[in-house]
């Protein structure tokens, strides 16, 4: 039996009932409201991604300092994206949407981390004894000559996160409406 991924992508998405679609869209709207009103360092969901981020440092750290530093954010974004791809091939709307939504939600935390590049006063988790801790984004920005622009990059990252989350909800509402069941 041969798997043709292009043929799979031509298939219709699994249908959603009106109640299911309304519940998911409602959940996302409530979450967006919560995120907009929360002015703390992180949202309640963010600790879920901390071990993934730290695991990225450990996994990619075997290949050197740069891959190790970049690996935290790469895995933090890569895991929800990989899960989204799985759900895309399953043609499953809610699974795809939640993975993409929380991939973009991670941009908010990443932006906060970027904005702390100079002060380095955030409460961060690190693997190991913390003796040679590197602030990811200070390291990245300073080595790329972008430290003077860290706040602009952080703001753009935050905007991208918000736009991505909103677009995901709009996509789910639109796509789910096209294939409604009773």
- Whether residue 10 lies inside any domain: the answer is no
- Whether residue 76 lies inside any domain: the answer is yes
**Under 8 Å CB-to-CB from 159, ≥6 apart: which residues?**
none
- Whether residue 69 lies inside any domain: the answer is yes
Q: How confident is the model at residue 87 (pLDDT cuts 50, 70, 90)?
A: very high
- Whether residue 2 lies inside any domain: the answer is no
73-91-77 Cα angle (round to 5): 0
* CA–CA dist 181, 176 (Å, integer): 9
**Mean pLDDT across the chain, nearest whole number?**
88
* CA–CA dist 19, 180 (Å, integer): 10
Q: How confident is the model at residue 172 (pLDDT cuts 50, 70, 90)?
A: very high
The predicted pLDDT at position 182 comes to 41
- Whether residue 1 lies inside any domain: the answer is no
Q: What residue numbers bound the domain in which 35 lies?
A: 15-125+132-181
- Whether residue 102 lies inside any domain: the answer is yes
Burial class (CB in 10 A: 0-12, 13-18, 19+), 137: buried
In this predicted model, what pLDDT tens digit does every residue of 125-163 receive, in sequence order?
777 655 567 889 999 999 999 999 999 999 999 999 999
Tell me the pTM: 0.88
Do the beta carbons of residue 17 and residue 181 sit within 8 Å?
yes
- Whether residue 3 lies inside any domain: the answer is no
In this predicted model, what pLDDT tens digit does every residue of 16-53 receive, in sequence order?
888 999 999 999 999 999 999 987 667 888 888 889 99
38: left (phi over 0), alpha (psi -120 to 50) or beta: beta
Instruction: Say how many domains are in the chain.
Output: 1
Does residue 116 carry a pLDDT above 50? yes
- Whether residue 4 lies inside any domain: the answer is no
Residue 104 structure tokens: 């973009």
């Amino acid at each position: 039996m041969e798997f043709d991924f292009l043929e799979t992508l031509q298939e219709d998405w699994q249908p959603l009932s009106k109640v299911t679609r309304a519940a998911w869209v409602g959940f996302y709207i409530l979450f967006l409201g919560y995120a907009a009103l929360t002015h703390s360092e992180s949202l309640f969901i963010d600790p879920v991604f901390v071990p993934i981020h730290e695991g990225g440092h450990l996994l990619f750290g075997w290949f050197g300092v740069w891959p190790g530093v970049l690996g935290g954010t790469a895995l933090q974004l890569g895991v929800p994206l990989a899960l989204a791809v799985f759900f895309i091939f399953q043609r499953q709307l809610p699974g795809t949407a939640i993975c993409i939504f929380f991939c973009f939600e991670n941009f908010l935390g990443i932006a906060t981390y970027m904005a702390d590049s100079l002060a380095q006063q955030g409460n961060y988790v690190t693997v190991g004894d913390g003796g040679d801790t590197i602030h990811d984004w200070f390291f990245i920005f300073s080595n790329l000559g972008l430290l003077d622009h860290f706040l602009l990059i952080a703001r753009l990252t935050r905007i991208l996160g918000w736009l991505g989350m909103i677009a995901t909800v709009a996509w789910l509402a639109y796509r789910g409406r096209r294939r409604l069941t009773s």
